[in-house]
Amino acid sequence: MEIEKGTRIYYGGDMANQEGFGTVVDVTESRWGVNVKINMEDGRDINIDKIMISEKYSGNGSTRFVREVAYYEWREEQMKRLFKERERLLAGIQN
C-alpha cells in the first residue's frame, strides 16, 4: 500500500485517545522500517510505523489506522446494510 505525504488517514482511537482524521506530513525510512508522521485535525501529531496502517477498515477496533477513503468505503457499506434492514423491518410491519 502506498502511503505518501498528503495521504488522509482515519485513526479509530482507543481507550485513552480519541478518534479523528489527519494528514500524512512526513514519511521517512530507517533501518527499522518506514515511519509516518500524521498531523491530526485536532492538533495532535502522531508518529507510527507504516505497518500500523491497515488497507481495509474493519470497524471492530482491530484496525486503528487506515486511509480515509477505506474508512468511508466501510461506512458506506454499513449505511447500505442499515437501510436494507430498515426496509425489511418496515415490510414486516406492513404485512
pLDDT tens per residue across span 27-45: 999 898 999 999 999 999 9
Nearest Cα neighbor of 26 from 45, 53, 1, 52 is: 45
pLDDT of residue 91: 86
pTM score of the predicted model: 0.86
Q: Is the dihedral of CA 40, 13, 56, 68 positive or negative?
A: negative
Q: Residue 17 has what DSSP assignment?
A: S
Q: Is the dihedral of CA 71, 14, 35, 43 positive or negative?
A: positive
- Structural domain boundaries of the chain? 8-94
